[in-house]
Structure 1
Amino acid sequence: MATAPTVLAPRTITTARAARSVVWTLLASSLLIKAAGFAWDFLGYYVADGLGYGTTAAGASLTTFGVGWCVGLASAGALTDRLGQRTSLSIVMALSSLACFALAAAESFPALLLVSFFLGMTMEIHRPAVSAQINATIAGEAARTRAQSWLYWSSNVGIAICAAAGGYLAHHYGYKGLFVVNGLACLVFAAVAYRVLTPGTTTDSKSASTVTYRQVFADPSLRWIAVAAVCGMTCAWGLVSILPLLMTDDGLPPTSYGLAMLANTVSVLALTPPLTRLLVGSGDTPRYPLVPVLACGCAILGLGISLAALQHSTLGYAAAAALLVPGEIAFSVALGAYISTHAPRNATGRYQAVLSGATAVASLPPLGVAMALNIGGRPLVAALLVGSALIAVAACRPLSRSLNTAQQKQAHRPPSSAL
């Protein structure tokens, strides 16, 4: 029977100033790459509106994008654990730039499907390396949780900035220039990673090379949190995958989508610091257990996105996008707490790849949403989104049991066996 990889203590950078510098540089770079992520955020609008293929073709492109996303994350997690953060980040961000440049040149529908797949492969492949570097840099559980939460926050803010700015720019200047800017931002991230991070790995390369995804998925807590994450992210990712389809169906221009995402951005900026302090605290360990925080986050996400499915005005979509924010923050804090407290040092990349893969799987529904919109209208779309949130909340109960079982086994394990 496959067993979960042995938990090893993270190796930390001894200089506090150097550690903070590395972490903040990675957070800023993650925000940049999301803020300039026009190729990812505007793929649906580009196919449906920019090239005139319609919402069904856009849904097909976004679904193909999601399939590539799953494949890319699995590869990135293994690459991070084997080669280290510096090498893997430099490679994957260079590949991301090529995918963005290819999208700027593609116009036929078969070419768009092919590019969508490779674009999806590069969408989140930086996340496992960044997350592994944070765990290797910071010593305390609560401090790692805060940093992992800020990583999700930087991504969410970047996505919202991208939608707000990109909607205006796309409306006035077209899409292709945005995709070139996206590619250049990826190259900047690759250069920053090569310059800031140290060469080599921060894990035992021999132990990392022996860990497989089969062993990683032998951890029941990872399986259950992955279920919750997929269903919760189906609601959260609806901001950039489902919302454009709904707003296009209403005949609203990209500027309306940008305004809705601007409302989300303002709410994220205003609510993230106080809610993160409330949920994590300032001590050495997180203030609240991660499972109830995750359940509350998924419930709020389901409520917000289902209400968005019933809107028809820019104001209604903006209000729903703002309502999602507390759920996004709680969801991010919970996933950050799991990675910071449970992911083994020699498999952090794979653990983060699995949770980031939840977002990738959550990007697959647009084709189904487009079909549901045609078959049952907005009520059917809202019902499907509510059902997804309910599954996420239900998965939190077995997740809690598996985490408690793991803690009990760890408490009774002889000290030498954890090394």
Structure 2
Amino acid sequence: MATTDAPLTLTRPAAPARAGRSVVWALIAASLAVKSAGFGWDFLGYYVATAHGTTAAGASMTLFGVGWCLGQAVAGQLTDRAGQRTALVVMMIFAALSCVALTWAASLLSLLIVSVCLGLTMETYRPAVSAAINTHIASAGGRARAQTALYWSINVGIALCGGLGGYAAHHYGYRPLFLANAVVCAAFALLAWRLLAARKRTSAGDAADVTYRQVLADPTLRWIAVVSVAAMVCAWGLVSVLPLLMTSDGLPPTAYGTAMIANTVAVLVLTPPMTRLLIGRGETLRFSPVVVLAAGTAILGVGIGFAAYQHTTHGYSIACAALVPGEVAYSIAVGAYLSTAAPDGAVGRYQAVISASSAVASLPPLGIAIALNAGGRPLVAALLAGCALLGVAACPPLSRALRRASSDH
């Protein structure tokens, strides 16, 4: 099927292909390391609950989510205005300091303040790394592959962090993990300082002066943000819905670990062949990103809906693996969108808006818990399927907006 949504015509500075790709892959590897060592982010709830109970943990995670949304906006703005190197160095140093502060915080008030700070730093490297991909790789196909690899590194990192952190916390406690998180963040800041060039001064009125209001005036970004929220509600079901369902079945934490391992193995196995299928080895995309996005969103809805009816470790593991094609398709489609539709000087903010969808999608667990108690699993499955249908329904308007934007260029 040929691509029907033609990319916007963009002017990109030429970059030495081999050197540029080396920088990009080093940043993606660093992103994998930071996500794999993201113990401060992933174990915050457990740490607060241990000291102050589950209600306090819920409050801390809510504040964390608020900080997460704000942090993406700040990171996108900083990337486009101050440059990729400055953004990565500043945000990763702030992340390191937040993780160190978590080891010292003891009172509930201090932990709540640190929770906001940790949320502000959650995945704030993504806008800068996405912008670096668009800067250092010239071809649409190459940029889409690199953006997909960035999403892949995040998915694998989440699974590694959960597995490694759970074992290490059992034997050594949480504070050494938080310090390790701080060290890796600081190392990422140092790597960015060494690899990336400082932003050149530009004249007033250039793309760096674009505001979020102007960015959000792009109908393509508004529509893909709607799809992203819907898709990520289903994808985040792995860490929000699944524990609720498995707990209601009386399954132990090891069952959840087994299901997550199944998801991780499927990600490792399926990502390379799906990337070759959807992008190919050439420099152009084989399929319309909107079609891939719609298919991925539908698969995520079906997969998490299927999970809602499971009651065994084996069934949940199958459901977690079934979600992976949707995760990969979503990653490829969003990567293709960023690589073609985000204008120079605004890539950081475009990525920030899309990344913020993950933060918004992390907020529904309370509603899912209420639905589980009120209507049981059929209601949970219906709500999640309805969310996926909303995302699929937003794809045709997204396609039309992309075609209009293309014709304007």
Whole-Å Cα distance in 2 between the matches of residues 80 and 119 of structure 1? 19
**2:52–2:108 contact (8 Å) kept in structure 1:** no
* Structure 1 residues 62 and 68: alpha-carbon distance in aligned structure 2, compared to 1, 3 A threshold: same
Cα deviation for residue 181 of structure 1 reads 1.7
In the TM superposition, what whole-angstrom CA distance separates every residue of 1:364-413 from its partner, at most 9, and x where no partner exists?
A: 22233333334434333332222211111111111011111111222xxx
Aligned to 1:153: 152
Cα deviation for residue 21 of structure 1 reads 1.1
Whole-Å Cα distance in 1 between the matches of residues 201 and 129 of structure 2? 12
Give the TM-score, by structure 2 length.
Answer: 0.91
Whole-Å Cα distance in 1 between the matches of residues 383 and 102 of structure 2? 31
* Structure 1 residues 278 and 105: alpha-carbon distance in aligned structure 2, compared to 1, 3 A threshold: same
Structure 1: runs of 5 or more not aligned = 1-5, 411-419
Give the TM-score, by structure 1 length.
Answer: 0.89
* Structure 1 residues 145 and 135: alpha-carbon distance in aligned structure 2, compared to 1, 3 A threshold: same
Give the alignment of 1:14-413 within 5 angstroms.
14=16, 16-48=17-49, 50-51=50-51, 53-54=53-54, 57-201=56-200, 206-250=205-249, 252-410=251-409
Aligned residue identity for 1:212: T
Aligned residue identity for 2:293: L
After superposing the two structures, state which structure 1 stretch, 176-185 or 388-397, moved more.
176-185
* Structure 1 residues 43 and 384: alpha-carbon distance in aligned structure 2, compared to 1, 3 A threshold: farther
Aligned to 1:416: none
Aligned residue identity for 2:21: R
* Structure 1 residues 343 and 320: alpha-carbon distance in aligned structure 2, compared to 1, 3 A threshold: same
Equivalent residue of 1:393, what SS?
helix
After superposing the two structures, state which structure 1 stretch, 265-274 or 362-371, moved more.
362-371
Cα deviation for residue 162 of structure 1 reads 1.3
**1:45–1:244 contact (8 Å) kept in structure 2:** no
Equivalent residue of 2:124, what SS?
coil
Number of aligned residue pairs: give it: 402
Whole-Å Cα distance in 2 between the matches of residues 293 and 202 of structure 1? 38
Whole-Å Cα distance in 2 between the matches of residues 71 and 327 of structure 1? 27
* Structure 1 residues 377 and 185: alpha-carbon distance in aligned structure 2, compared to 1, 3 A threshold: farther
In the TM superposition, what whole-angstrom CA distance separates every residue of 1:202-255 from its partner, at most 9, and x where no partner exists?
A: 987751342011111111011000000011011112223333444455555544
Whole-Å Cα distance in 2 between the matches of residues 208 and 134 of structure 1? 18
**1:35–1:161 contact (8 Å) kept in structure 2:** yes
Whole-Å Cα distance in 1 between the matches of residues 293 and 223 of structure 2? 12
**1:61–1:112 contact (8 Å) kept in structure 2:** yes
Aligned residue identity for 2:346: A
Cα deviation for residue 323 of structure 1 reads 1.2
